[in-house]
Amino acid sequence: MFWKTTKLDLICYPPMPDHVARPWDAADEYILERANPEEKTLIFNDRFGALAVNYPEAKLWLESACARIAAEKNLGRNEIASQPDRWITHIEPDTRQILIKAPKDFEQLQFWLHLIQTDCPDARILIAGMSKHIPISWLTWLEAHCAAYTQHPIQRKARLVEVGGPNISDKCIQLDGYHWEELELLATPGVFGRHHIDIGSRFLLETLAEQQLSFSGRLCDLGCGNGLLGFTLKHCHPDLELVMTDDSFQAVESARENSKRNHLDATIVHGDTLLNTPGQFDIIVCNPPFHDGHRQLTNFAQRMFEQSARQLTPGGQLLVVANRHLPYPALLKQQYRRVQVVKQNPKFIVFQCSLAKHTKENTLA
């Protein structure tokens, strides 16, 4: 898609439905209008690389594996060389300017500001997002916790805030979580289900426990978050070979911490669905996300279902929990010969899917 303002050609990765397929927004244009291209720059949360292609020398803090792939693809489409050291997880102290696309989770923004405060407290910080996604409570908090604060006028429904000298409590970077069964499950800010168990995942685990199912072989927790599903099943079935993967770098780091805390071995991979996770699986468990930032979509779930079908053993099974209103039955039936509703309640539904019409064992209902 041609971006007239910058004369660049960008795409979304993964591909998005047409009604949300523009890989930039007015907030990207606003932040580019106000930023100084001469300053050493760090960019946070650039979902499709719209800022990265305009700042080819900038460092990139992209926690999403898909965001990294999108940035690489868009740099390549525009014949912009990608520097091998662009992707960072530690802020360089001589950074002078930081561009942040506002995340959905305010705790994640607070976490980033604390890192900035520690490593380069004098940097100029520009935070941009669509005005409907940056509530007044965020602005009030930023004004109270930053030495410098300027709120620029709303422009084409985009909001831009410039801050400096953040003074953020250490509480904003601490691990937080809960206990489930005999497990301690913690996570950093921005990880799904950080503070308490997700009720959909709880419904799936309770359903599996009711069925008294015996799991064996190689299991993948796809979109693992803090590792709740995978670690619970590994705890109950110690002989499982557990693999976990997530698009979020912070989720992967949290799962690695939980692996150590709970003394449960697992291979934990940061990647786009199963693309970085080779091999076949006897069981894949999944509570698919249906949001990409503020977009409500089914394309992530669809890709998870497709890739799971490619990597299941012939007698393997995919176990999915989902909100009832989502159109997953049709998506699952495109990939699997057998799609069974195991249990449902007014809010959630659990599916068991296999490539074969019948399985000799481990049938849930």
Identity (one letter) of the amino acid at 37? P
CA-CA distances (angstroms) from residue 154 to 128, 130, 281, 283?
10, 9, 50, 49
| Fold match between domain 2-172 and domain 175-354 | yes
Q: Does the pLDDT of residue 365 top 50, yes or no?
A: no
Contacts of 335 (CB under 8 A, 6+ apart): 305, 306, 308, 309, 353
Q: Per-residue confidence at 4, pLDDT binned at 50, 70, 90?
A: confident
Distance (Å, rounded) from C-alpha 298 to C-alpha 120?
Answer: 39
Q: What is the mean pLDDT of the chain?
A: 93
Distance (Å, rounded) from C-alpha 45 to C-alpha 294?
Answer: 13
pLDDT digits (tens, 9 = 90+) for 169-227: 887 888 999 999 999 999 999 999 999 999 999 999 999 999 877 789 999 999 999 99
Q: Where are the domains of the chain?
A: 2-172, 175-354
Query: 58-62, 203-207, 222-226, 288-292 — which is least confidently predicted?
Result: 288-292
First to last CA, the chain: 47
Fold of 175-354: Rossmann fold (3.40.50)
pLDDT digits (tens, 9 = 90+) for 20-53: 889 999 999 999 999 999 999 999 999 999 999 9
Q: How many alpha carbons fall within 13 Å on the CB side of residue 202?
A: 11
Fold of 2-172: Rossmann fold (3.40.50)
3-state DSSP call for residue 362?
Answer: coil
Q: Which two tokens stand for residue 73?
A: 């693809």
Q: Per-residue confidence at 292, pLDDT binned at 50, 70, 90?
A: low
Calculate ∠ Cα 219-214-197, nearest 5°.
65
Q: What φ, ψ does residue 41 adopt, rounded to 5°?
A: -125, 145
Contacts of 95 (CB under 8 A, 6+ apart): 40, 41, 42, 59, 119, 120, 123
